[in-house]
Structure 1
Amino acid sequence: MDEKLPFWENLSLRIHLFLCRNCANFSQQLRFLRDVSRHDRRAPNFHLTEEAKRRIVAALANKENGD
């Protein structure tokens, strides 16, 4: 995501993401987080809902507690 891959590595990654739903979903989540953190120009008015904020706080608290 952050730098260009050589042709064969890029092709290999694309094939893997096509075949592996878990990695494809993770890749989409990373792309979303990257865009939001950079205040992507395509969504300048993006705001997290209160529910989303609560879920993030709960997930971080669980992670700190080792859950």
Structure 2
Amino acid sequence: MEIKERIGDVQGKAATLANMGVLSANNGDFQTAISYLQESLTILQHLKSPNAATVQSWLEQVQQLAG
């Protein structure tokens, strides 16, 4: 992630955050997952990326699991 930030790879940073969110959710750490997914979603929405819809869906699923 540090490298992506240093080189300005914003899309890559969003993808990494989303992946970290999914991994955190799979490990039962829902609050961390939500944090990563929200940050990823914010970036993707700013970029007007079509991937934002996917991350939004994942975020909603994790929020439901978190109760």
TM-score, structure 1 length as denominator?
Answer: 0.36
RCO greater where, 1 or 2, for CA within 8 Å and sep 6 or more? 2
Of Structure 1 and Structure 2, the greater helix share is in 2
Q: Larger Rg: 1 or 2?
A: 1
TM-score, structure 2 length as denominator?
Answer: 0.36
